[in-house]
Amino acid sequence: MPTAAATAHPPAWPTTMKIVVVGPPGGGASSLVAAVSDLPVTGPVGREFGRRTLGTTVVYLFTLAQSAWWLVWPGTLIGAHAVIVVVPTSRLPEAYPLLDATAGSGLPYAVVVDRFGDPVRHHPAEIREALATDPSVPVIACDVRDRAAAQAAFTDLVSRLRPHQ
């Protein structure tokens, strides 16, 4: 049972977090990492890295954005605190295996709906229903190429996904 002191103050943020960002090839995962990072680094195809400082927490981002992502999925998840799945609305069926693998990882996760190329502007609730995603999973829509929108969505998601200590 938590003590009065423990319930009076929310848990402290960790000093570092590792978040894995996945999406179908060309689906916006790399664009999201580039838009939100203080320091983005392009690695091999489908492997970008980023770092973002939020308060006293440094968040490290790792993308898996290519069709052979499952080959390195287990290793990439080592030490991860959460997963963000980037889903372009024009390619929802490609997100199903990503969401299944993510849900099966046991890590907290969220969905970013990339609005680039979505003239209809589907509401996140519609996307949640189409993806059959649990209501507890955060779903946020933004154009991941828009730095301000991507950063606002990312900060919101990290606050929801942060580990509770």
At 147, which CATH number?
3.40.50.300
3 state DSSP class of 49: strand
Prediction pTM value = 0.85
Distance CA 23, CA 66 (A): 8
Q: What is the pLDDT of residue 1?
A: 44
Number of domains the chain is built from: 1
Domain assignment present for residue 4? The answer is no
Tell me the percentage of the chain whose pLDDT exceeds 70.
83
Distance CA 2, CA 55 (A): 26
Residue 18: how many CA atoms within 13 Å on its side-chain side? 9
Domain assignment present for residue 7? The answer is no
Assigned token pair, 4: 């009065």
Q: What is the pLDDT of residue 115?
A: 85
